[in-house]
Each structure stands twice: as structure tokens, then as C-alpha cells.
Structure 1
Amino acid sequence: MFNFNSSVRPTRLLAYALIASVLGFQSTSSFAADKSPWPQTRFEQNNYQTTSTVADVDIFMSALMKKDKSLQVYLPKNAPRTTETGQPLNAWRLAATGKDPLRVYINAGIHAGEVEGKDAMQLIMRELLQGKYPEIRQAIEIVTLPTYNADGADAQDPANRRHQPNPEGGVGPRENAFGIDLNRDMMKAAAANTRWMLAMYQDFQPAAVFDLHTTNGSYHGFHITYEPAWATGGDASLQSLNRTMLTDVRSTMAARGMPTYDYGNFRYNKDKQIDGWESAFSTPNLVSNYPTLQYALGVLVETYVYRTYPQRIEDNRLYVVELLRWLAKHKDAVKQEQFAARERWSAQWKAQTARLPLRTEMTLAENYVFDVVDPIKDANGQIIGEKSRTKMELPAYVAFKAVDEIAIPQGYLVDPAYAEKLRPILEAHGLKVYPGSARPKDQSLMYFHESDRQVAKDTFQGIFTVQIKGAWKDQLPEKRAGYTWTKDTLDRALYVPLNQPLGRLGFYLLDPRSADGLVFWGYLHAYYARGKGMWGEPPRQPILAVGGITNGVEKAAESRKPERVQE
């Protein structure tokens, strides 16, 4: 009856067919003649009593495909087709009507209790096919996966997120079936969903990525809060354009009666008085921050949790459409800035001045007048009224500045013992990986000298994360290793040069000091998180740096030392 993802099991096909029958969708033959009415979503059919399941979205989008062949099922090359539990990762691609379009990926449902993005995307795709936004259709090509957390999308329960007004059928849980918060997984890529998204980056190469959420925190007057891609080490000019887009859209929406502002929460002083507004994260493990390391714009969209379910869907729909309008209008400027950002990275290497920050700090962006709401809540935490609403002009710490900027090496060598474990992750991110024998032989080998190591006392994402401090030096650490680096192991190692388009990303994945890299996420705990019971000689360092750089200038050839290999 409908075109389904080939990975969906026969039992699911039967279930989907039953749901289609209940919802009253037309047959293939009637759609072929294009005389059928436009399909309705599940929540439209039942007057917002339930949010969509994976099957509901698939049936609705399949019905839309019958109306316009420019909408197709999207299967990224080399991507998982399902989650680990077998739930299909169903995505769709809508071709643009014009030439050389800007490509935009829109993600929804990553936290399955935050449902309005998933439901709004169905309405937006239908409107685009109905011809309501011709300027978007002409300039923008869209890929969307509305039920990104496919495990959670179908685990609907009225007990989930009771503080937000939900449909009677309830909403899904935040995490996937393994307890992974998928919005903290972009760097370590532990989940099939994340590997799907990384494959999408390589296949679709989006110029912008939206991630649709719902807020959890402060009682404020904004219908939508947003955040640009602030990942540490992103190109500053590209990030500036990202912020310009969002402030432009803020002005447009304000004129239409929709208050929006940068995502954040009220900040309190020691006397528990509000003294500011501050943002949250600048780590690339978030879906909306990661794009800046792929030379794309990113947008976190947070719908205000305390508005009604239909209101939240409508707010999301209006805001996402306006983002797309801005991108359509500024298509050429976005493409030019993306190209310029890549050129700036290449120019740093030509000038031998490649530098990146180890971290960022929140900084003052502006003073802004906020509505501070004193709510009346019911037993579930839902707002049923307001005691007062006060306007306060507050400093807004909603930007980030780079700190601890350092010169970076030519590249990294990864111990061949870890090759099978790390190569798939590095290549999934789009990095070029070579055999160690391809490293520049005239460059010194650098060894990491730790000055501090902090292993977390509790798990995050099921991992005891580790934070490392120290510096690269061209001399061996004082403590002897039980296994030596030899010329053979150097040649068989993985070599990841940073002088490549995604070298920024390679630095934050592989440098031991990275606050969001593979060392932090436990991929090399056998070396970097050895406990007191491990009293023998440690193995050799699993990551070496290639090429010494001091004060941003490569060491002169005469000062370079030959490879220091333990004998």
C-alpha cells in the first residue's frame, strides 16, 4: 500500500498497514492520479490526543511521497538502517526546485519526550509540497529524520515529562533503549543513531543543521529559545554568521508577536536573586554544536515547555519556516562563508600558524529585557497561572570566547593496537586516516607529559570520563613503558594529519587534553585511567603527536630531533 523502508520487518509492515487503515489513508492508485486529499497526521486525525509514533510518521510521509515524487526516502550511504533494537531510522529527502540549492538537515525527536519538533516537521513538509513557501522550495534541499530517537518515539507513557502539557497518550523518554542521551553522543558515536547522522554528513553534506527540542528550565516569556553552533574551535567568522541568522530571525518573529531569545536559564547570585541570563554548552557532543566543526551552521531550537501541546507544534512550525526563509534569502552568503572558512584553515597551515583553543568561556553578549514569570503550578509541575510577570534588564552571557589557544601538531599517530577500535570512528567523522608510514619523516615525534589526571567519580553516559592536563614534548616521559614504540609499530600506526579540511575535528577527537575527545570518553582508558591496582609498567602511550610547534611557528629544521623510539 505504501513505500516502506526496506529494513522494516514484515511484522511491522502488517502493523503499519493496520494503522493506515484506521487513519483512512487512500490507496496507491488514487494518489497516482493526484486526486486524493492531502494526508493528515495522526495528531490531526485524533484532535491532538496522541503524538506520532515511528509508524505514524512513516505512513504520513509515504502518503506525501505519492503526492510529489520530489520527496523520497533517504538512506545515507554506509549508514545503519535501524537502531540496535531494530527500530527503523526513517528519513526523507525533499529536492529543491531550483539549481545549486543549499542543503539543510532537520533533526527532531532526539529526546523522545520533546515531541513538537517531530510533529511540526510533518506539517512543514506537507506545506512545502503544497507550494506555500516557493522561495524555500527553490533554494533549499531538505533531509529530515523526525523520529531520531526511534526507540523512545514508540515508548509513549503519560508518566513521562509530566511537567509539560502533553497529549493524553503521553510522550516518550529522553534517552534511547540503552540509556544513552543521543544529544551527548556526537563525538564518541556510541549509538547507531549517531553513526547514521555522521554518515548523513558525509553523504548529504548539509550547510545547516537544526535540532528541535523543548526547554526544561526557567520560567520566562519566550515561545522559542535558540542557540547557534558554539563548539570549541569552530571558525569565528562562520560562527558570527550563524549568530547573525538567529538575531535576524529574532527580529522578524518579534514583529509577528513571537518572542524568542538565546537559549539559557536565569543565573542567581549568592543571595538567590536573579542577576543574569546565561547559556549552557559549547561542546561538540551536542547535535547543534557539532556542525561548526563540519563547516556548517547549527541551530538548537527549544520550544517553551509550559505552552500547550498544539501551541508548541505551531511555535516550532513558524520558527523553523522562518529559519528556512532566512537561509533561502542568504544562500549565496552562506556558501561563500563556508568556502572562506575552509580557506582560512588551509591558509593557517601554509603560514605554519595553525592554532586552536582547548576550551571556551561564556562571555557577555548584551543587556536585554527579560520577562521573569512567577508561576502557579499544579501537582505535576505544569503552569496553570501566573502570580506575576516582571520585566528585568539583565546581562546576557550567551556567547563564548576561545581561551587556552595553543599551537597544534602536524598530526597524531594512534597505536596499531587501537586501530580496529578507533579507525571506524575517525573515518565516520569524515577524517582521512593513513598508515603511520605516511607520516612526515622529517618531523619530531612528540610524547605527552601529564601534569594532572581526573577520573570522574560517577558515570556520565555510562562512562567514567577522564580529564587530562599536560603538554607535548619531544622527549620520553620519565616512567618506563612495558611495551616500546618500534619502527614497525610506528609504520603500522594510524596517522591522522591535521592539515586536512576536518583537521579541527581531528584535534578535538585525538588530543588527550580535549574535553570532548576519545580519551575523555573512555576509548583509551586502558592507558589513561589506570587504577591503583595496576602496579606493573604501563603500556606505551597510545597516541603520539607528530611535529613540534612552538609559539605558532614550526621548529626550525636544524633543531629537529630524529625519531625517538624506545629500544
Structure 2
Amino acid sequence: MLSFLLSTLLLASPPKEDWRTPFEKGNGNTTATYAECIAYYQKLDAAYPEIQMRAVGPTDSGQPLHEVVVALDGKFEPANSQGRSRPVVLIQNGIHPGEPEGIDACMALVRDYVQKKELRRQLENMTLVVIPIYNVDGALNRNSTTRTNQNGPESYGFRGNARNLDLNRDYVKQDSRNARSFAELFRRWQPDIFVDTHTSNGADYQYTMTLIATQKDKLAPDLSDYLTQRLLPALNTGMDKHKSPLTPYVDFEGRTPDARGLVGFLETPRYSTGYTTLFNTIGFVTETHMLKAYTPRVQATYDFLDVLLRFVHTDAAALTQARAQAVRKLSTQSTFPLAWKLDTTAADKVNFRGYTGKTKSSEVSGQPRLYYDRKAPFTRQLNYYNTFRPTLTVSRPKAYLIPQAWTEVLDRLRVAGASLQRLTRDTTLTAEVYYIEDYKTSPRPYEGHYLHSGVTVRTTQQPLRYYRGDYVASLDDATARFLVEMLEPQATDSFFAWGFFDSILQQKEHFSDYVFEDVAADLLRRDPALREQLEKQKQQEPALAKSGDAQLEWVYRHSKYYEPTHMRYPIARWQGGTLAVK
């Protein structure tokens, strides 16, 4: 009778909840679909008061971008973390959905951090924010063939989004709704640490996990010291304990990594960690090795994130102090780098675990081809070139003056949280103005734009007419560096470089030569100094001396008839006093 009652009670009790992720239910070589991923986080949200998932903005797919916030105290708004020694860690997954390890690792990580008592403790003094899948569009475009070099999973998403944009080139130009939603999310949270999860391409080597850290020379000194002296050593030690050692991202010049050594990755603001650096956030890109099996790649990603969160828990005060100091120093920073160059005379040493690169005959072409011999592993010290020097700097203006016509630029400044005020009346202001002297343009489109580079400018002081409603962008808050790198045309990823001001590069008026011949002759008669300047120029430039058309153009460009706005960069640098703004 007793056994019958026990069996009846057991049959009547509800089945134990299955908290395995879609990856864990699979064969070790599958990744969650977009629908499965969102449904799993919804299930966690419903079951645990410490977790909240919410839609935070649109994507080009028509589906929303989600954030998952994990806070043990149930306070899910950024204001509860900011201004306290309570770091925010933001993890972004699926920017390239064909590289999905972070998608699967984070589902298990969030679950474990609320279900396991020992892990819950790590969140007592921090807030964890997870973007389940950033490139929703690409995740919905599922296939099994586009990651040709990759060893699993069986199917996955596509790198391009719904507009065929690589979102890891879209952080400043923000052609996608995904990028604009991310910028708003990032501005709200102002995370102390940001992680973007990826899978590598490139050489073969022994490591499962490689790591791009924010380029140390681009960080404020306090943050750079914190990264290199405390955080990176702790991450390396922690991953060693998991028997999954880290190495810097395997970027190199030459035939194989051991030929000339590794080279640091200079992430400009078009990339995720280049963008976050503009706001004094330490960034990491995890790059698992594409030829390793999928399960160890997911495990290595999980382990890295776990090691990171544990260290942030123990070192929260030092991290927030270093970042606060960097923000304070930004307020008095007088010059800003705009471009960088690798210093090939400065090298650290790294112990690198690689495979010997060899050559054999190609079965396709019959020509010699490279292969890595996994039967010939090696461990040896390699040079690691990771010191970059500024090649161009600019002084800090008090503010930038922006005519209200440039709405696309203003929209992006607003999203980033820039301090924008508007002039309350029409006025004339004498400001520092650039003329674009020279630039190069890529012959083919890159991510939807014909990029400009090699920009040189001529600087003048000019009185300019401004109108009520034009904008003043002050450099008096944490967006100062962002404003400089976006609005100085010579910066590598400036709005000018991305083509937002191309209309100024085209003349709107010109002349008919047979009419202007008489006007030009009269100008030269009336202005002997102009005639003398032309004659000198002809002596210096034989081509000019031989061309009547070129001389006529020269006179036109040195006359009052030449339009003053041609090649004039429309955003001026203001160094003056108080402006009437609201």
C-alpha cells in the first residue's frame, strides 16, 4: 500500500523543467535559430525575477533588437548602475550570425548565473546586459554553405544583414536600423566593458580562442594601464585554468604567423570595439578558431565570459575608478589623435602555439600551395607588434558649429548622446573653417559608400552667417572624443570619409569661356598683383603655361566670382566666447 501511494505521488508531481538550451539538446554541432534563442530568453524572463528581456529598437529585418538584463536586485534601468561602483558588462552576439558561438554560450551563461548559487554571487555588484542576436536579419537568412572555411555548426545565419551590410563596419555611418538601435542602447548603458563574440578566419594554429582587446594606445592612460596590467593578465590566467589558453588575434604579415610575428589589430570606429573606445569603454572581440569543432568553440566562449565576469566581480572598484579617471581626464584633454601607424620598431614577445606551414602541389592548379601540418606543432616566441603612434592630431575646439541642413549627421550625433544646442537668433560668427585641399576616393563601393582617405585641408578664419536653429555641439561631456573623430574630416572614419558631405565637393556655378575671357582680362588689367601671381605660377607649372583653359580657370578661382562654398567643409570649429543658445 505504501509503495502504491509513493508511486501515485511521483506520477502526480509535475515533470522537472528542462532548462537545456537548443545547443545542449542537439548533437554538439547545432546552433539555436533566432526563434529558439528569443523563446529561450522569454522562458528565463518568465521564470526568474532577476532577468528581464525587452525590445529596444528596430532592425532592418522588421524584427526588434532585444536586450537581456540580468540584475540580482531586479533593478533593470541603467540609472541604477551609473554613478556607483557597479560595473556594467555588455555582451553582444551574432553580429555575424555564421559565427554563432556567443549566441549559444550566452544562453547557458545567463541561465547558470541565476540558477547556480556560486555563480549568482558574481552578479552581486554588477549588471549584465546581453544582446541575444544583433544581426537579426542575417540570423533569419539561414544556410549551411557560406562559411566555407568553418568546421560547423550544421547550419547558421549569413554575415550580411537585410541590406547586405556587414554590421561590423556600420557603427559610425549607421546605414542600418540595427546600428542606430545599438547606439541608443549603448548610450543608455554606458558599459564599462563590452564583448563582441566572433569566429576567426585565417591561419591554422593550436588555440581554440584568440582575442582582440581594445588597442592599448587608443585608450586613456588609466584605462590602458588597467587593461594591460590587471585585466588581460587575469583573463589569460583564468583561461589557462580552463586549459584553453588565449593568444592575441592571429593577424600577421607574411606567409605564416611565425614568419614575421603577430600584428595588433587597429580597430577604427567603424568596428564595434573601435566605436566603444570613443566612449572610454574597454572592448573585447572573442575569435574562436574556425577549424576547431563547434562544441569546444562554444565552451571556450562560455569560459572566457565566465572568467571575465568573475574578475569584474572581484575588481569592480578598480575598474570603475579607472574609467571614472579616464572620463575626468577627457574633460581637459587638449589634443586628439585622428590617425595612427604601427610602430614596427616596438615589439613584445608572445609564446605562440602554432602548426608548421608547409608547401605541397595543389590538386586544383598543380602549383605550390600552403598547408598547415598538424603533425608538426610548435611553441615558440614570436614578436608581437602592438604599439601604434599617432600620425595626425588636432587641437580641441570649444565647440563645432553645424548648420541645421545636415540632418543625417545631426541624427547620428543625437543618437550618440552628443550635447547639441540651437542658436536662438540669426548671427555672423568668425570661426575656424576648413577647405578640402585633396582627398582620394576608393574606386569601388565599400559597405555602400565610396570611402575618402588621404584628406588634406587648408584652415582659414572666416565670418560665416548662421541662422536661428543651427546647432552648437559642445565638447564638454563624455562624447568629446566621438565628436572630434566624427567631425574632423581627416579622421579615418569621419563622416566626411564616409561621404556624408560629398555635395560640397561639386561646384554649382561656373562660366562660359568666351564670356569669361573678357572678364578675366579686365581683372588682370585692374589687379597687377594678380597678374604677377599668375606669371609666377606659370613659371612653376609648365602645364599651366601651355594651357589657355587652365589659366582662365586659375583666374576664375582667384576671383570674386568663384563660389566660396566649393570645397568648404560646412562644420566650423568654434573657439570663441558665449553663444546665444537653448
**What is the match of residue 517 of structure 1?**
494
| Structure 2 CA distance for partners of 1:496 and 1:310, relative to 1, 3 Å | same
Q: Secondary structure at the match of 1:139?
A: coil
CA drift of 1:194 comes to: 1.1
| Structure 2 CA distance for partners of 1:472 and 1:38, relative to 1, 3 Å | farther
1:462 matches 2:448: yes
Q: Sequence identity, in percent?
A: 23
**What is the match of residue 262 of structure 2?**
277
Opposite residue 289 of structure 1, the aligned amino acid is G
CA drift of 1:439 comes to: 12
Q: Secondary structure at the match of 2:295?
A: helix
**What is the match of residue 355 of structure 2?**
373
Does structure 1 conserve the Cα–Cα contact (< 8 Å) formed by 2:441 and 2:451? Answer: yes
Q: Of 437, 459, 472, which residue of structure 2 is paired with 1:495?
A: 472
Does structure 2 conserve the Cα–Cα contact (< 8 Å) formed by 1:202 and 1:430? Answer: yes
Query: Is the radius of gyration larger for structure 1 or structure 2?
Result: 2
CA drift of 1:161 comes to: 0.6
Superimposed CA distance per residue, residues 526-552 of structure 1 (whole angstroms, 9 cap, x where no aligned partner): 114x4999998474635333345xxxx
| Structure 2 CA distance for partners of 1:231 and 1:242, relative to 1, 3 Å | closer
CA drift of 1:386 comes to: 1.5
Alignment partners' CA distance in 1, 2:193 and 2:211: 14
Does structure 1 conserve the Cα–Cα contact (< 8 Å) formed by 2:216 and 2:224? Answer: no
Does structure 2 conserve the Cα–Cα contact (< 8 Å) formed by 1:231 and 1:289? Answer: no
Alignment partners' CA distance in 2, 1:204 and 1:119: 23
Alignment partners' CA distance in 1, 2:320 and 2:159: 35
Q: Secondary structure at the match of 1:521?
A: coil
CA drift of 1:487 comes to: 4.2
Alignment partners' CA distance in 2, 1:430 and 1:262: 33
**What is the match of residue 396 of structure 1?**
384
Q: 149-158 vs 248-257, which deviates more?
A: 248-257
Opposite residue 60 of structure 1, the aligned amino acid is Y
Alignment partners' CA distance in 2, 1:143 and 1:506: 26
Alignment partners' CA distance in 2, 1:277 and 1:206: 29
Opposite residue 302 of structure 1, the aligned amino acid is E
Q: Of 405, 423, 437, which residue of structure 1 is paired with 2:410?
A: 423
Does structure 1 conserve the Cα–Cα contact (< 8 Å) formed by 2:213 and 2:284? Answer: yes
Q: Secondary structure at the match of 1:369?
A: strand
Superimposed CA distance per residue, residues 412-447 of structure 1 (whole angstroms, 9 cap, x where no aligned partner): 1122221x2222110101101112459999x84011
Q: Secondary structure at the match of 1:417?
A: coil
Does structure 1 conserve the Cα–Cα contact (< 8 Å) formed by 2:59 and 2:181? Answer: no
Alignment partners' CA distance in 1, 2:453 and 2:217: 16
| Structure 2 CA distance for partners of 1:448 and 1:206, relative to 1, 3 Å | same
Alignment partners' CA distance in 2, 1:238 and 1:507: 20
Q: Of 43, 51, 55, which residue of structure 1 is paired with 2:23?
A: 43
Q: Secondary structure at the match of 2:121?
A: helix
Alignment partners' CA distance in 1, 2:425 and 2:563: 30
CA drift of 1:235 comes to: 1.7
| Structure 2 CA distance for partners of 1:511 and 1:255, relative to 1, 3 Å | same
Does structure 2 conserve the Cα–Cα contact (< 8 Å) formed by 1:306 and 1:382? Answer: no
Alignment partners' CA distance in 1, 2:318 and 2:131: 26
Alignment partners' CA distance in 2, 1:259 and 1:408: 42
For residues 24-173 of structure 1, the aligned pairs below 5 Å read 36-76=16-56, 80=57, 82-97=58-73, 101-131=86-116, 132-168=118-154, 170-173=155-158
Aligned residues: 496
Q: Of 289, 311, 317, which residue of structure 2 is paired with 1:326?
A: 311
RMSD over aligned Cα atoms: 3.3
| Structure 2 CA distance for partners of 1:34 and 1:432, relative to 1, 3 Å | farther
Alignment partners' CA distance in 2, 1:534 and 1:201: 46
For residues 153-552 of structure 1, the aligned pairs below 5 Å read 153-168=139-154, 170-230=155-215, 234-244=219-229, 245-268=231-254, 274-348=259-333, 354-363=334-343, 364-374=346-356, 386-418=374-406, 420-436=407-423, 444-467=430-453, 469-471=455-457, 473-475=459-461, 485-488=464-467, 491-528=468-505, 530=506, 537=563, 539=565, 541-547=568-574
Alignment partners' CA distance in 1, 2:265 and 2:99: 18
Opposite residue 412 of structure 2, the aligned amino acid is I
Superimposed CA distance per residue, residues 501-530 of structure 1 (whole angstroms, 9 cap, x where no aligned partner): 2111100111111111111111111114x4
| Structure 2 CA distance for partners of 1:253 and 1:519, relative to 1, 3 Å | same
Q: Secondary structure at the match of 1:486?
A: strand
Under a length normalisation based on structure 1, what TM-score does the superposition of the two structures give?
Answer: 0.80
Q: Secondary structure at the match of 1:413?
A: strand
Does structure 1 conserve the Cα–Cα contact (< 8 Å) formed by 2:153 and 2:294? Answer: yes
Does structure 2 conserve the Cα–Cα contact (< 8 Å) formed by 1:232 and 1:282? Answer: no
Q: Secondary structure at the match of 2:103?
A: helix
**What is the match of residue 14 of structure 1?**
none
Alignment partners' CA distance in 2, 1:455 and 1:360: 19
| Structure 2 CA distance for partners of 1:289 and 1:421, relative to 1, 3 Å | closer
Opposite residue 545 of structure 1, the aligned amino acid is A
Alignment partners' CA distance in 2, 1:148 and 1:41: 19
**What is the match of residue 546 of structure 2?**
none
CA drift of 1:310 comes to: 0.7
| Structure 2 CA distance for partners of 1:184 and 1:39, relative to 1, 3 Å | same
Alignment partners' CA distance in 1, 2:219 and 2:48: 38
Q: Secondary structure at the match of 2:391?
A: strand
| Structure 2 CA distance for partners of 1:35 and 1:298, relative to 1, 3 Å | farther
CA drift of 1:297 comes to: 1.5
Alignment partners' CA distance in 1, 2:493 and 2:387: 19
Alignment partners' CA distance in 2, 1:230 and 1:282: 7
Q: Secondary structure at the match of 2:65?
A: coil
| Structure 2 CA distance for partners of 1:391 and 1:398, relative to 1, 3 Å | same
Alignment partners' CA distance in 2, 1:515 and 1:365: 24
Q: Secondary structure at the match of 2:113?
A: helix
Q: 232-241 vs 191-200, which deviates more?
A: 232-241
Opposite residue 261 of structure 1, the aligned amino acid is T
Q: Secondary structure at the match of 2:300?
A: helix
Superimposed CA distance per residue, residues 140-163 of structure 1 (whole angstroms, 9 cap, x where no aligned partner): 211111211111112221112132
Opposite residue 464 of structure 1, the aligned amino acid is Y
Opposite residue 54 of structure 1, the aligned amino acid is Y
Does structure 2 conserve the Cα–Cα contact (< 8 Å) formed by 1:38 and 1:64? Answer: no
| Structure 2 CA distance for partners of 1:139 and 1:195, relative to 1, 3 Å | same
CA drift of 1:220 comes to: 2.1
| Structure 2 CA distance for partners of 1:471 and 1:437, relative to 1, 3 Å | farther
Under a length normalisation based on structure 2, what TM-score does the superposition of the two structures give?
Answer: 0.78
Does structure 1 conserve the Cα–Cα contact (< 8 Å) formed by 2:430 and 2:464? Answer: no
| Structure 2 CA distance for partners of 1:514 and 1:43, relative to 1, 3 Å | same
Superimposed CA distance per residue, residues 451-478 of structure 1 (whole angstroms, 9 cap, x where no aligned partner): 32111111110100112533463345xx
Q: Secondary structure at the match of 2:309?
A: helix
Superimposed CA distance per residue, residues 271-324 of structure 1 (whole angstroms, 9 cap, x where no aligned partner): 997111112223022112222221222111111111101110001001111011
Does structure 2 conserve the Cα–Cα contact (< 8 Å) formed by 1:242 and 1:298? Answer: no
